[in-house]
Amino acid sequence: MKYEISLATVVTLVLLTGMTHYAFAEIDPIQINVSIPLEGSSEFCGKLNTCFIPIEVITLVGAEVTWTNDDLANTHTVTSGDVVVGPDEMFDSGILGPGQGFSYVFEQAGIFPYYCTIHPWKEGVIKISSQESEHTQSFQYSIQPASSEIEKIKQENTQLKNQVKELQNEIENLKLLVMEQLKVINQWIKSR
């Protein structure tokens, strides 16, 4: 049994529910579309798993995956491999300008991570099976309330603000110390 769902439907579902966390697609094993959305240029997309939509694709050998740069303000890449280890040279889109796309046909089973070399926090994965299973027979979209992620981001933001305030206080103290030292040096120079 094959199911088709448009990217617009998935994005609308995410936006209407206000929930994002983890998305994976198990769609028609012939053609799968992955969006590189506008928010993909922000490091927060990695925390919300929205750097690529869907971020994980599960399908069969022979599937063609097409990535489209829907970010009208930035260029991106789709490069196979891992940001830590580097590209594995299986596929590489080169630079994709706004509206441009890149397709790749997966001829072998396996797990294929990919990332954007320009924005290395953007990572996704393609999982290819050699045989149909219950996972490749239906579309599943797993979502979790973003409120926990938002709280986590707010806490991190508060911590960063506190760290910035501490650093600003240290800078002010250093400025005062330097000013005192300059006064001492000026007095010494005048006394000579």
Across 2-20, average pLDDT: 41
Cβ distance 141 to 10 under 8 Å?
Answer: yes
Report residue 50: phi and psi, to 5°: -125, 20
- Same domain assignment for residues 115 and 32: yes
pLDDT for the residue 91: 97
- Same domain assignment for residues 83 and 106: yes
* Residue 79, H or E segment: strand 79-82
Average pLDDT, whole number, for the chain? Answer: 77
- Same domain assignment for residues 96 and 24: yes
Q: Tell whether pTM > 0.85.
A: no
Residue 37: CATH number of its domain: 2.60.40.420
Quote the domain boundaries for residue 167. Answer: 149-192
- Return the ∠ at Cα 121 (arms to 117 and 122), rounded to 5°: 70
**Number of domains composing the chain:** 2
Q: Both tokens of residue 63?
A: 């599937």
Across 74-85, average pLDDT: 93
pLDDT tens digit sequence for 161-171 = 788 788 888 88
DSSP per-residue letters across 98-135:
TT-EEEEE--S-EEEEEE-SSSTT-EEEEEEESS--GG
User: Residues 6 or more apart from 3 whose CB is under 8 A from it?
Assistant: 27, 28, 138, 139
- Same domain assignment for residues 39 and 69: yes
Task: Flag whether 168 is in a domain.
Answer: yes
Q: Is pLDDT of 187 > 70?
A: yes
